[in-house]
Amino acid sequence: MFSLSGKMALVTGASRGIGKGIALSLAKAGAAVAVNYHSNKEEAEKVVTEILQLGVKSFLVQADVSNKSDVVRMMEEVKSQFGQLNILVNNAGVVAMGPVEKVGEDEWNKVLNTNLKGQFLCIQEAVKMMST
């Protein structure tokens, strides 16, 4: 496996599923990993514990990626904890469940705001930190 030793990563939506797998893979390669979650703090804490057991830095950061002020705060926490950011994994996402004719506008807006706007906001803030 290649080495990411000395690299600092942020994985959004890292409390379970693919995000958890990515966070653990980055840590196994030596990267320090900030574990973002929106609402499942208990599961996110377990991911941080697993990463710390691998001997690399990790911390928990709560943020709703569809909310600009949350994203700005999240990036400030990453900078405070790690000093820099080398890797951003925009993993956070939600889906609308059920038949399309039953998906309400509010539910669809949540999908768009998380899956599209959230990606944009995270990239926008990460680039500021990565380019300094």
Label residues 17-35 b or e (16+ Cβ within 10 Å = b). eebbebbbebbebbbbbbb
pTM across the whole model: 0.95
- Which strands sit side by side in the sheet containing 32-37, from one edge to the other? 58-62, 32-37, 8-11, 87-89
* Domain extent listing, the chain: 8-130
Superfamily of domain 8-130: NAD(P)-binding Rossmann-like Domain (3.40.50.720)
State the pLDDT at residue 69. Answer: 98
**pLDDT tens per residue across span 72-125:** 999 999 999 999 999 999 999 999 999 999 999 999 999 999 999 999 999 999
The predicted pLDDT at position 1 comes to 60
